Chain A
Amino acid sequence: MTNRFNRRFLTLGLAAGMLSAAPAMADTLNYVIAFPAGGESDVTARLQEPVLKSVSGKDIVIQYKVGAGGATAWASLNKLPADGSTVMGTNLPHIFLQPMQKDVGYKSEDLINIYVFELTPDAIVVPVDSPYKTLKDLIDAAKKTPGAITMAGSGTNTGPHLSATTLNKLTGTKITYIPFSGTATSVAAMLGKQVNAAMTFTTAAMQQGDRVRMLAVATEQRLSTHPDVPTFKELGYDMVSGVYRGIAVPKATSEADRKRLSELFGKVNADAGFRKKMVDAGFVMTDIPYEKVGPFLDAKRKEYEAAAREVGMIK
């Protein structure tokens, strides 16, 4: 109890910015999140926390280092202790797109990812009473009046923006992408019928329950929670996309520690209770360990780069 209380106070102190660095205690694992408390990255970390604690036997201290869409934290990763006591959450496509556009204080290859644990897939969502019952309906309407169909999404030069552009390219239509300040505001615009559809994430779609209809999800296979929603792939559009979340360590972390930590996150991902909570919320588990992270990230990087070029984000 005392221990838990100490930890709570430590977390509080860190969150309040009273302490600049966590004391490197042997029995703690520091887990740095690049986004604010309560955000989706925090939510996934909080779901991992109890399982991670039990498989590692250590206290997990979740810290927040927020700023510049995650870049503040990622630029600081390699200055953190490299003794296997510190890990940081990473997000794809962010860690590829940010350095491609400008100097953000880190390069994609500086981030040593040891595990990719989940995918938050893209999904096209319409209000439940929308006249567009299927993706085909939406695309046919867009073909009839090019540009007149509008689709909300979170931000410019972001994952949803790239996916909307990719979809336009794959389908040969022009759906007008309207950027909003975040996922929530873009979903609100769709619910309020300010736009025809939203390019958002399965998690946001599932939160809306039966108010909305998913037209397609950008996964390899259909979601187990929504067996009736087709994938883009089976509709003939080769699009598997969304936000991947991974775990990175400071560069100087030893090979043995990298492997050990990767195995720990593998065990977390294997936990049935954790998996169920994640899947119920709309996440897709990915289980990519240290040995396979390299090739996986290389492939993704090429995809993102091509899409970013297409959008005109990079030259």
Chain B
Amino acid sequence: MNHFDSVLAAMSPGNLLLAFIGVVAGTVIGAMPGLTATMAVAVLVPFTFTMEPAPALIMLGAIYTGAIYGGAYSAVLLNTPGTPSAIATTFDGFPMAKRGDGDLAITLACLSSVVGGLVGAVCLLLLAPPLAEVALAFGPIEYFWLAILGLTLVAALSEGDAWKGIAGACVGLLLSMIGSAIVGGDIRYTLDTEFLLGGIDVVPALIGLFCIPVLVDLVVSREEHLELEGKVAGFRLREAIGIALRNKVNLARSSTIGTVIGMLPGAGGSIAALVAYSEARRSSSDPASFGKGNPAGIIASESSNNATVGGGFIPTLVLGIPGTPADAVVLGALLVQGIKTGPALFNEQGAIAYTFIFGLLIATVLMLPVGLVLGRYAYRSIIAVPKSLLVPGIAFLTVIGSYAIHNNVDDVIVMFGTGVIGWGMSRFGFGPAPIVLGLILGPLAEQGFVQGWMIGSATDNLLGMYFGRPISLAIIGVATLTLLYPTFSRLYHDRKTRRGATRADR
């Protein structure tokens, strides 16, 4: 069976329909605050058990990629990431919506998601086996430095008040330590309760920290949620394409970052989007405009998080090691189907693998029309729905979303608890993003550090472990650049203006 047959198989009417249904269902689920991509896949996995392997996989891939994109809707329109992957989309998405460019933001998110998704899927198609080796080259220390790189974003996020950002990140890091440690098994900060033993789950904390302050503000203020002075919501596709073309370097870089980070087991879409965002900001000629509604921020975040879909499938299919949490669910579905992943998949069951990859490509392309139409609908309804309906509706979703993660009321309590903390902190100028950043990156940094320490001590090469590995050094370099670049560029800029001023004096 050659690739052409796989393309044909992927384009059979049944598979096309499943890809379409998957993208629509995924986008809708992903758009709801609290219903994540992993959950979208997990909820729909039982449906696929009775299906043939290839269509089942196509549908799961379509749901997954749709959900990652759908997360942008609530990020842009409600300042609440629909999935953790969309955290970085809120930074510029919501400011754009506030100034009346929500429709443009959503169209841009759609375009970027499609481009990122295609880059990830094409890498999966053409480069999967060699890229899987790259993923394996990342050891504990590389994960540690990657987490540190993510944390440097805090400095950028809290422009003007770096101390508040750092304080927020520290709160997040502390929250991430609650519960029993994966490495070492120590029980920490549980106040001797069973409730805190499992730790603070990212998703309920995410909903609480982002969504609750928005809801409270909506209730407290008299203003409408989004002010639109007689503007009609459109696609603004031409405008969006223009912006995307001007950002082609950004698109390419962010999609690559997304693919690579998606391949790393244990990293995932949220970290990919944060790193891509931080890189886009660093290399921009106008970094100060980021966080204030710069479309380039949305492009970076949305293209990279959708690239993690294809990227994540690389180790999943080649090595049988899931790249992202959603991939772990897909891997289970594959096992039930009796499909062995690993090298055998591409040889013995190559037909299924390639039909799936082409199906994923098709689903990604389908995301363009589906996303544009659903996006316009979402935008219009968020504007049209009166606040008295919008607030209870979203509040209901936050409860459902946090409960549904583990079918556990404890998570709802965590959501409310972090919500109250988040609201209180937002009144003193602390944003939710640094806290969530700390919560997500904390375990990654901690595990990597301790594992690296253990391996380094065992092999009597502690220094070489932390500072002697090429990939680590590269990440350290980028992190240092991210931290120092703003200072240097300001110094340089100041000197230039000063020189200009002196010259003018003469």
Binding site for B on A (CB under 8 A): 4, 8, 11-12, 14-18, 36-40, 42-43, 46-47, 49, 62, 64-69, 72, 102-105, 147-150, 155-157, 176, 178-181, 184-185, 187-189, 191-195, 204, 207-211, 277, 281, 313
Is B451 an interface position by the 8 A CB rule? yes
- Which residues of B in the span 317-345 have a Cβ within 8 Å of any Cβ on A? 319-322, 328-333, 335-336, 338, 340-344
Residues of A within 8 A of B135 (CB): 188, 192
Q: Which residue of A lies closest to B42 (CB)?
A: A37
Q: Which residue of A lies closest to B343 (CB)?
A: A209
Which secondary structure dominates chain A's binding surface?
mixed
Are A66 and B407 within 8 A (Cβ)?
A: yes
Are A37 and B319 within 8 A (Cβ)?
A: no
Binding site for A on B (CB under 8 A): 42-47, 49-50, 135-140, 181-185, 187, 194, 197-198, 265-266, 315, 319-322, 328-333, 335-336, 338, 340-344, 400, 403-404, 406-408, 410, 443, 447, 451, 454-455, 458-460
A12-B46, A147-B458, A207-B342 as given contacts; A38 in contact with B140, CB under 8 Å: no
Are A67 and B198 within 8 A (Cβ)?
A: yes
Residues of A within 8 A of B454 (CB): 150, 176, 178
Residues of B within 8 A of A211 (CB): 319, 342-343
A207-B342, A209-B343 as given contacts; A38 in contact with B329, CB under 8 Å: yes
Are A65 and B185 within 8 A (Cβ)?
A: no
Cα of A180 to Cα of B454 in the assembled complex, Å: 12
Are B328 and A38 within 8 A (Cβ)?
A: yes
A216 to chain B, nearest CB (A): 21
Residues of A within 8 A of B400 (CB): 16-18
A135 to chain B, nearest CB (A): 19
Are B458 and A209 within 8 A (Cβ)?
A: no
A189-B140, A211-B342 as given contacts; A37 in contact with B185, CB under 8 Å: no
Residues of B within 8 A of A187 (CB): 321
Are B404 and A192 within 8 A (Cβ)?
A: no
A214 to chain B, nearest CB (A): 14
A15-B46, A155-B182, A176-B458 as given contacts; A208 in contact with B319, CB under 8 Å: yes
Residue among A36, A149, A195 making CB contact with B42, cutoff 8 Å: A36
Are B140 and A194 within 8 A (Cβ)?
A: yes
> A18-B400, A65-B407, A187-B321 provided; 18 other pairs, C-beta below 8 A?
A11-B46, A15-B404, A16-B400, A16-B404, A17-B400, A36-B42, A37-B329, A38-B42, A40-B335, A43-B335, A46-B49, A66-B408, A178-B454, A184-B265, A184-B328, A185-B266, A192-B137, A313-B185
Q: Which residue of A lies closest to B340 (CB)?
A: A207
Are A281 and B46 within 8 A (Cβ)?
A: no
Number of residue pairs across A and B with beta carbons under 8 Å? 161
Are B182 and A179 within 8 A (Cβ)?
A: yes
A8-B46, A188-B265, A192-B139 as given contacts; A150 in contact with B455, CB under 8 Å: yes
Q: Which residue of B lies closest to A277 (CB)?
A: B338
Are B265 and A194 within 8 A (Cβ)?
A: no
* Nearest 4 Cβ contacts at the A-B interface: A38-B332, A192-B136, A156-B185, A38-B329
Cα of A202 to Cα of B277 in the assembled complex, Å: 41
B236 to chain A, nearest CB (A): 34
Residues of B within 8 A of A40 (CB): 332, 335
Cα of A176 to Cα of B49 in the assembled complex, Å: 40
Are A191 and B404 within 8 A (Cβ)?
A: no
B41 to chain A, nearest CB (A): 8
Residues of A within 8 A of B403 (CB): 17
A163 to chain B, nearest CB (A): 15
Are A209 and B344 within 8 A (Cβ)?
A: yes
23 A-B residue pairings within 8 Å (CB atoms)? A12-B43, A15-B404, A16-B404, A36-B329, A38-B42, A38-B329, A38-B332, A65-B407, A68-B194, A72-B408, A102-B197, A103-B194, A178-B140, A179-B183, A179-B184, A179-B451, A180-B447, A184-B322, A185-B266, A188-B321, A194-B139, A207-B320, A281-B335
B439 to chain A, nearest CB (A): 15
Q: Which residue of B lies closest to A154 (CB)?
A: B182
Are B182 and A181 within 8 A (Cβ)?
A: yes
Are B408 and A43 within 8 A (Cβ)?
A: no
Residues of A within 8 A of B50 (CB): 4
Are A209 and B340 within 8 A (Cβ)?
A: yes
Cα of A8 to Cα of B184 in the assembled complex, Å: 41
A313 to chain B, nearest CB (A): 8
